[in-house]
Amino acid sequence: MKTVLVTGGAGYIGSHACKALKAAGYHPVTFDNLVTGWQQAVKFGPFEQGDLLDRARLDAVFAAHQPVAVMHFAALSQVGESMQDPGRYWRNNVTGSLTLIEAAVAAGCPHFVFSSTCATYGEQDNVVLDEESAQLPINAYGASKRAIEEILRDFEAAFGLRHVIFRYFNVAGADPQGEVGEFHRPETHLIPVLLDAIDGKRDGLTIHGTDYETPDGTCIRDYVHVCDLVDAHVLGLKWLEEGKASRVFNLGTGQGFSVREVMDHSRTVTNREVPFTEGPRREGDCTKLVSGSTRAATELGWQPHRSTLSDMIADAWRWHQNGHYDR
Ligand code: UDP
């Protein structure tokens, strides 16, 4: 069985990726420092605790497991926090990824699948965001991810490390079988925060800004189901194994929803009211991020199956009511 090293495999997206990899016949080995991840989320293969900044630990893990590829999810990923503490984002995301990429090359691991973000595009009014769009991030999170994309290009040129880069739009939902789900402490992402507000686990949702130039004044995002997203990663891995060239793919549905529209859908799915207040804008937020690309469909054959907003909220709600992790 082929081993894949999954950094961040104890986190939200990484744990779903491990499940998809196992189902596709791979052996996922999780590498995670458990700063934001949960050991209980590691259910589909072995666990190696370690930090991306620890090169000796990485070398030992590569030597022990001999992975045929790396899937790199481990990162700090909060836009607002990245504006308050940019050094942490550059150190953890960029220096950490550089250390990982160097370790992969040194170990002779040929393939690298990287979790990037639509935040690398930044604020671009009336522009269709496809993979050829300019990358003009407006927050430190997006800037850190763009830098890692550049590192990957340089390392391919120098050492032949082939890569697939996925630029995610907003990931939502949970494993419909309830084995893994989204669980951040503290939680800042819209759908889980909103579900917390609905069932009284927090006072209410604060809408971060109602004066954006959108039809209802709130930010618009393109939501994609975590299970569809990780399916694309398995396709990306196969793409590399088939010897195809390094490639960038957007992962979104092409449909945008405002914060208020997400609230409306949540009300319908849960049949409960969403307590909320209107607050100021959050630093670093773009007005609208919606994918304008069909590349993942046409080239990878990727078809999202569960990415309607109602399905994503229903899966997140089921997980929210039944699933959680503890330290
Ligand atoms: N948002 C909000 N209140 C919250 C959390 C998020 O209004 O408590 C908004 C946020 O400003 C953005 C959208 O919801 O417009 C999605 O934010 P999230 O943090 O989920 O993802 P991001 O787009 O920042 O990666």
> How many whole angstroms separate alpha carbon 178 and alpha carbon 63?
33
| Mean pLDDT, residues 144-171 taken together | 98
> How many whole angstroms separate alpha carbon 214 and alpha carbon 22?
42
> How many whole angstroms separate alpha carbon 11 and alpha carbon 4?
16
Taking the model in full, what pTM does it have? 0.97
Range of weakest confidence among 25-29, 31-35, 132-136, 283-287: 283-287
Whose alpha carbon is nearest atom 18 of ligand 1? 189
317 Cα distance to chain centroid:
19
The reported pLDDT for the residue numbered 327 is 64
pLDDT tens for 14-42 read 999 999 999 999 999 999 999 999 999 99
Q: How far is the CA of 188 from the centre of ligand 1 (A)?
A: 7
Whose alpha carbon is nearest atom 3 of ligand 1? 207
Q: How far is the CA of 57 from the centre of ligand 1 (A)?
A: 35
The reported pLDDT for the residue numbered 324 is 78
Cβ of 29 less than 6 Å from ligand 1: no
Query: Residue 124 — very low, low, confident or very high, per pLDDT cuts 50/70/90?
Result: confident
DSSP 129: B
Give residue for tokens 């990287």: 114
Residue 95 has φ and ψ, to the nearest 5°, of -65, -40
Q: Which atom of ligand 1 is nearest to the CA of 207?
A: 7
The reported pLDDT for the residue numbered 323 is 77
CB atoms within 10 A of CB 88: 14
> How many whole angstroms separate alpha carbon 192 and alpha carbon 148?
28
pLDDT tens for 241-277 read 999 999 999 999 999 999 999 999 999 999 999 999 9
User: What one-letter code names the amino acid at 311?
Assistant: D
Q: Which atom of ligand 1 is nearest to the CA of 189?
A: 20
Percent of the chain residues topping a pLDDT of 70: 99
pLDDT tens for 212-222 read 999 999 999 99
Q: Does 320 have pLDDT greater than 90? A: yes
Query: Residue 127 — very low, low, confident or very high, per pLDDT cuts 50/70/90?
Result: confident
Active site residues: 141
Cβ of 162 less than 6 Å from ligand 1: no
Whose alpha carbon is nearest atom 6 of ligand 1? 190
pLDDT tens for 179-218 read 999 998 889 999 999 999 999 999 999 999 999 999 999 9
Q: Which atom of ligand 1 is nearest to the CA of 218?
A: 15
- Where do the domains of the chain lie, and which CATH numbers do they carry? 3-172+223-251 (3.40.50.720), 190-221+254-322 (3.90.25.10)
Q: Does 326 have pLDDT greater than 90? A: no
Cβ of 190 less than 6 Å from ligand 1: yes
Q: How far is the CA of 78 from the centre of ligand 1 (A)?
A: 9
